[in-house]
Structure 1
Amino acid sequence: MVRRFDPARPVPEEVVRDLLGLAVRAPSAGFSQGWDFVVLLDPADRARFWGAASGGGPGDAWLRGVSAAPALVLCLSDPDAYLDRYAEPDKGWVDRSPDRWPVPYWDTDTAMAAMVLLLGAEDAGLGALFFGVPAPRHDAVREALGIPAGRRLVGVVALGHEAVRTSGSARTRARRPLADVVHLGRFGVSVRP
């Protein structure tokens, strides 16, 4: 994950389109495809997003680094697409109740699409970061960018070329070993190192 971007190196629109072409190949429950992506390449659009997302307050080092990204992709989920799909005859949940969903797959599937976008960015030689918008700022972002009220803002992918890295968690923290995170048969039975 890149947290500092070089603002002098843009990301061509065609590259973003190709990355989104990969993202929409992600799996989705019932092939609902309940996602939308708002792409911000224009500096004025990105400034409008950052103003709404941050509340216009003074930026810290994280915000200064990430807001330099020349491309932002807002990843939105559409719960109604899933509720409608699962009310179709082949699924049979005619009540459209979100209570049938212990996990909100509209958000999960959108996050998977974002992950495909992140992996594609890596393959394209770009730096990328998935980040969230503070919950109290969601309505302001929706209003600033004309996003319908029924869409959920799952996260944002910043795209660009990495600026010189001077610090970061990946430099100071090791990945957890597989033996600590993979459990065979039941929780607590680890794989061999």
Structure 2
Amino acid sequence: MEFDDVLRRRKMVRTYDPDRPVPPEIVDKLLKHALRAPSAGFSQGWGFLVLQSPEDRERYWSATSSGGEADSWLQRMRTAPLIIVALSNKSVYLDRYAQPDKGWTDRAESHWPVPYWDIDTGFAALLIHLTAVNEELGSLFFGIPADKVAAFRDAFGVPEEFMPVGVLTVGYPAVDKRSPSLRRGRRPVDEVVHHGRW
């Protein structure tokens, strides 16, 4: 598929065919492409938790959702045969930039105007998402609720230095329900792009 076509077809998919697992070679490709993402100082301070078995996926949904009856969104999302959690590791960046070739002598977070560990992990997640589209799969990027992060860590033994930046569900798309947010439409280019001066 041409890159322009990937971008044109890119959308967030919330409903999947539960009877069609993602082939192992495509799972490998999704993750290999994630590792092609840029990272400050080539720090590569990311990690990916891949959940494919029904037991692992159920443990994920149990740890990250509120009890009770699942709403329509959650019922549809639970049909995804693959979940990939993208996690960032700030300490890798702080250590990397305290090395002699980077010029800082300490690990002070104040050197960083924005958290590049999260941004770079987001880039990696986007490459997973775009690769899924290229492979004619559906994908959705979303976050773990703040009050569920501890339960997620406990459920999967995630070390404290790794922070979940986002989650991707991946699978073959089924008939999906259009998000009401799309009624807003895309903002026009001239509202968001400024040439030469704001």
* TM-score (ref. length: structure 2): 0.90
Return the alpha-carbon distance in structure 2 between the equivalents of residues 143 and 160 of structure 1: 26
Structure 1 residues 133-148: aligned runs within 5 Å: 133-148=144-159
User: Are the equivalent residues in 2 in contact too, given 1:77–1:151 (CA < 8 A)?
Assistant: yes
Q: Does 1:150 align with 2:161?
A: yes
- Deviation above 4 Å: which 4+ runs of structure 1? none
Return the alpha-carbon distance in structure 2 between the equivalents of residues 103 and 28 of structure 1: 13
| % identical aligned pairs | 52
Q: Secondary structure at the match of 2:100?
A: coil
Query: Aligned residue for 1:80?
Result: 91
CA RMSD between the two structures: 1.3
Query: Aligned residue for 1:30?
Result: 41
* TM-score (ref. length: structure 1): 0.93
Alpha-carbon distance change, 170 to 161 in structure 1, aligned in 2, over 3 angstroms: farther
Query: Aligned residue for 1:59?
Result: 70
Q: 75-84 vs 48-57, which deviates more?
A: 48-57
Q: Shift of residue 94 of structure 1?
A: 2.1
Return the alpha-carbon distance in structure 2 between the equivalents of residues 116 and 169 of structure 1: 26
User: Are the equivalent residues in 1 in contact too, given 2:14–2:177 (CA < 8 A)?
Assistant: no
Query: Aligned residue for 1:102?
Result: 113
Q: Which has the higher helix share?
A: 2
Superposed CA deviations along residues 72-109 of structure 1, whole A, max 9, x for unmatched, are 00000000110110010001222201121120000000
Return the alpha-carbon distance in structure 2 between the equivalents of residues 186 and 139 of structure 1: 44
User: Are the equivalent residues in 2 in contact too, given 1:50–1:56 (CA < 8 A)?
Assistant: no
